[in-house]
Amino acid sequence: MGTVSTAVGSQRTPTAKPLKKRHRHHKIPRCAQRTIQKRKRLFSGQAANPSEHHGYKETDQPSNLADTTEPLQKRPRTERSPEEPANQPVIRLSKCKAELIAHWTKTYLEGELLGEGGFGCVFAGIRKEDGLPVAIKFVSKTKPYEKLQLTGYGWLPIEIALMVLANTKPCSNILKILDWFEEPKRYVVILERPEPCLDLHEFSSKQGGCLTEVEARIVVFQLMEALKHCKSQGILHRDVKPENILIQTDTWQVKLFDFGCGDLVKDCYDRFAGTPEYAPPEWFIQGQYLADPATVWSVGVTLYRLVCGCLPFGTSEETKTGYLFLPESLSQECSDLISWCLSPSAEGRPSLDQIQLHHWFYVPDIRGASAQDTGTTTLSSS
């Protein structure tokens, strides 16, 4: 196979952002008044509804935002040649037609349902030959989905194609694709399944609705490693959120997954895929966005949700307005990083490298360890 040529935009020289007080807006827009009061009640422990303390729920989506379960529109097919993996025996992808139609049940045993969404459902499973825990995802062919052409593989659903590209070079913070099969009415995708693990949304709920800053630093630092790897492979994930991040609860290792809304990196995007609550304001205002600023915005929303237990903006109008309420309980460093990532202007947001060099990641916890030191160590709170 040929070498991958990645059309990735130029990166700024990584520099740590100096701390300073960020003044967002002197005049608070009327449309943001109700949200501000709700946030103040929430963080002061005086929420009118006790359920507000538990943060965002899937049933709480604002009615004025698009239904994220609707099928995505197809884009023109794009041809891409994955780089030949060096010493990567874990990925065992079928190539010839005879292998594609081979019945996956000869190799894997299906277990209980783990979850389902608009494009398929996921079951627990094991590999029969060695008992390896796996996740078995079924992707129906009856629903519209995008495809990419990979040399040596042909046309593949975009989720499979992007995971193949992501796995051509090793990254411990990307969920591995182990195998896949094609049946007449569906694709069957076999993924690694770390044990014990939860998605970050469920994990945060079990921790009381949010994480401490020490815990959030460990998670977000690893998330940045995954996103930088995606960018190096020419991939835009486009749906970064706690539900698409796995955490192994005994080691705190984080893995990014679900590339179903992803795309190849390009100059500009004029179609949205992902979760509207994590979309940047330029999408709602201009109808287009750039890869890096949109990714950084979703990181800011994710970080806010992890440490505050709720979303920073409840509607598209609030996202466009850009007024951000930050509780006083957050450290100055954490508030500064969130404000920087959620800058209303795409040009005002940091690069992925600059996020990792931010002071917040290097503030020692009570044991004197930073995010880099504790990235995969067990915490007593787990």
Tell me, what's the pLDDT at 30? 52
Averaged over 74-96, what is the pLDDT? 43
Of 103, 102, 124, 126, nearest to 115 (Cα)? 124
Mean pLDDT check: name the lowest of 22-26, 121-125, 219-223, 279-283: 22-26
DSSP secondary structure code for residue 289 in this structure: B
Going from the C-alpha of 19 to that of each of 114, 152, 218, 299, 372, the distances in angstroms are 42, 49, 21, 19, 20
Bridge partners (DSSP) listed for residue 79 = 149
* Residue 137 among known ligand-binding residues: yes
Going from the C-alpha of 339 to that of each of 32, 100, 311, the distances in angstroms are 17, 48, 14
User: Residue 183: which pLDDT band, with cuts at 50, 70 and 90?
Assistant: confident
Tell me, what's the pLDDT at 9? 38
Tell me, what's the pLDDT at 139? 87
Check whether 33 has a pLDDT greater than 80.
no
Tell me, what's the pLDDT at 116? 79
User: Residue 185: which pLDDT band, with cuts at 50, 70 and 90?
Assistant: confident
> Is residue 9 within 8 Å of residue 293, measured between CB atoms?
no
Of 156, 157, 170, 67, nearest to 120 (Cα)? 157
Tell me, what's the pLDDT at 26? 43
More confident residue, 265 or 139: 265
Averaged over 119-125, what is the pLDDT? 87
Tell me, what's the pLDDT at 120? 76
Check whether 141 has a pLDDT greater than 70.
yes
Any idea which residue has 């835009």 for tokens? 236
Tell me, what's the pLDDT at 54? 37
User: Residue 371: which pLDDT band, with cuts at 50, 70 and 90?
Assistant: low
| Residue 139: its H or E element | strand 132-140
Report the residue count for the chain.
382
More confident residue, 225 or 19: 225
pLDDT in tens, 237-269: 999 999 999 999 999 999 999 998 999 999 999
Tell me, what's the pLDDT at 202? 95
Question: How many Cα atoms sit within 13 Å of 53 on the Cβ side?
Answer: 9
Active-site residue identified among 239, 263, 292, 336: 239
Check whether 340 has a pLDDT greater than 80.
yes
Mean pLDDT check: name the lowest of 114-118, 156-160, 375-379: 375-379
Distance CA 101, CA 103 (A): 6
Check whether 305 has a pLDDT greater than 90.
yes
H, E, C per residue of 242-262? HHHEEEECCCCEEEECCCCCC
Tell me, what's the pLDDT at 143? 74
User: Residue 373: which pLDDT band, with cuts at 50, 70 and 90?
Assistant: low
Instruction: Return the top range by mean pLDDT from 13-17, 76-80, 182-186, 234-238.
Output: 234-238
Bridge partners (DSSP) listed for residue 78 = 148
Tell me, what's the pLDDT at 43? 61
Averaged over 289-303, what is the pLDDT? 98
Going from the C-alpha of 366 to that of each of 298, 363, 369, 381, the distances in angstroms are 29, 10, 8, 13
More confident residue, 255 or 71: 255
Instruction: Return the top range by mean pLDDT from 113-117, 122-126, 293-297.
Output: 293-297
Active site annotation includes 250: no
Question: What long-range pairs does 62-71 form, CB within 8 A, spacing at least 24?
Answer: 62/277, 62/314, 62/315, 62/316, 64/315, 64/316, 64/317, 65/276, 65/277, 65/315, 65/316, 66/272, 66/276, 68/118, 68/274, 68/275, 68/276, 69/117, 69/118, 70/118, 71/118, 71/143, 71/144, 71/145
Buried b (16+ CB within 10 A) or exposed e, 146-175: bbbebeebeebbbbbbbbbbbbbbebebbb
Check whether 5 has a pLDDT greater than 60.
no
**CA 378 and chain centroid, separation:** 22
Question: How many Cα atoms sit within 13 Å of 295 on the Cβ side?
Answer: 27
Q: Where would I find the H helices in the chain?
A: 33-44, 97-100, 158-166, 200-206, 213-232, 281-286, 291-308, 316-321, 332-341, 352-356
> Is residue 134 within 8 Å of residue 190, measured between CB atoms?
yes
Look over the chain and give the mean of its residue pLDDT values, rounded to a whole number: 78
CB atoms within 10 A of CB 42: 20
Contacts of 258 by beta carbon, 8 Å cutoff, 6+ apart:
159, 239, 244
pLDDT in tens, 97-108: 445 455 788 999
Give SS3 for 74: coil
**CA 232 and chain centroid, separation:** 16
- Can you say whether the dihedral through the CA atoms of 60, 65, 70, 71 is positive or negative? negative
> Crossing angle of helices 332-341/291-308, nearest 10°?
140
Mean pLDDT check: name the lowest of 81-95, 134-148, 163-177, 236-250: 81-95
User: Residue 153: which pLDDT band, with cuts at 50, 70 and 90?
Assistant: confident
Give SS3 for 179: strand
Q: Where would I find the H helices in 115-178?
A: 158-166
* Structural domains of the chain sorted by starting position, each given as residue range(s) with its CATH number in brackets: 30-67+198-362 (1.10.510.10), 78-192 (3.30.200.20)
Check whether 75 has a pLDDT greater than 50.
no
